[in-house]
Amino acid sequence: MTQREREVRQQRFQWPPAPLVEQALVRSADESATVTIAPPRGAREYVRDLWAHFERLVLAPTVMPAGQAMAQYEADAPGLYCERCGGTIGPFEQREFGCGACHDQRLRCERMVRLGAYEGELAQWVGVLKFQRVRPYGVELGRRLGAALREAGVLEGLPPGGLVVQAVPMSRRRRMGRGIEHAQVIAKAVGAALGAPVARGLWRAHRPSQLDVPAGQREANVRGTIGLRRNACFSGQRVVLVDDVRTTGATIEAAARGVLDMKRGARVAGPRGADSVWGAVVSVTPRD
């Protein structure tokens, strides 16, 4: 570390802070670090900078209204992704029993409906809902997911009251930590869009977040940790399982087993299990 760089570091911890632009480290062609130091500033600039910091720290997060942010967004047409796992597919890749990635997997969800791949704006909006806890983003995403489900024919052939919406549950501990049950927010909007009730029929035990577990261990991490609540019953109904992101599919698979009232190791649905399960996710992580 050069003397100059050390000076810059120290500057970063000064209060009141100088705008980052003026602290910017400019590397000259010979790679020796040079620093642009803020010129002495008047009271007006000082107040302006302080206000900018206040805005960033206290008023943030201020976000654009969800409807406005998503006004131009169009969900993926059904042919762009696999109906079975929700993964992005190329032309002619869809086969009767899934795509190249899922045809050899056993999946309890009869169909998977999504808005798009987990990238770009869609990933940002999921983040705004989940980490900034801006509910209207979940409501708007759920409304659109409901429309996509309707278009995919989720209500076809069902008697009135034959459809129930259920969020992939969160453990109580995670719910307290997050301060928002984002899948539930989305699920409520999906239910409203489809005119279907939203159930709370699943329990979930606390485990490390799937995000902190390598992909190969996620199935084991979540196995047996989601189940049907003692007083819940989905028999005679189709259940739409709602979540924000599908990555390996292990979580939604475990939730589907719960909805089907399948005990650990069981191969068939239990007496209180749903007749069929559909998955509905805002986004699906692209395969690499």
Residue numbers of the site for Zn ion (CB under 5 A)? Answer: 82, 84-85, 87, 98-99, 102
Minimum Å gap between C-beta 177 and Zn ion is 32
Of residues 78 and 270, the one with the C-beta less far from Zn ion: 78
Nearest approach, Cβ of 94 to Zn ion (angstroms)?
8
Closer to Zn ion by Cβ: residue 41 or 287: 287
Find the Cα–Cα–Cα–Cα dihedral 124, 130, 132, 137, rounded to 10°: 70
Among 232, 158, 123, CA closest to 150? 158
Q: Closest approach of Cβ 91 to Zn ion, in Å? A: 15
Q: Tell me the three-class secondary structure of 157-208, residue by residue.
A: CCCCCCEEEEECCCCHHHHHHHCCCHHHHHHHHHHHHHCCCEECCEEECCCC
Name the residue nearer to Zn ion (CB basis): 85 or 277.
85
CA nearest neighbour of 126 among 112, 145, 144, 141: 141
Choose between 253 and 261: whose C-beta lies nearer to Zn ion: 253
Shortest approach of Zn ion to residue 73 CB, angstroms? 23
Q: To the nearest whole angstrom, how small is the minimum distance from the Cβ of residue 151 to Zn ion?
A: 19
Number of residues that this document lists for the chain: 288
* Residues facing residue 35 across a β-bridge: 25
Nearer to Zn ion, 82 or 193 (CB): 82
Nearer CB in complex with Zn ion: 84/204 = 84
C-beta atoms surrounding 155 within 10 Å: 15
Q: How many angstroms separate the Cα of 157 from the Cα of each of 87, 114, 190?
A: 26, 21, 19
CA distance 18 to 29: 26
Neighbours of 255 (CB within 10 A): 29
Minimum CB separation from Zn ion for residue 108, in Å? 14
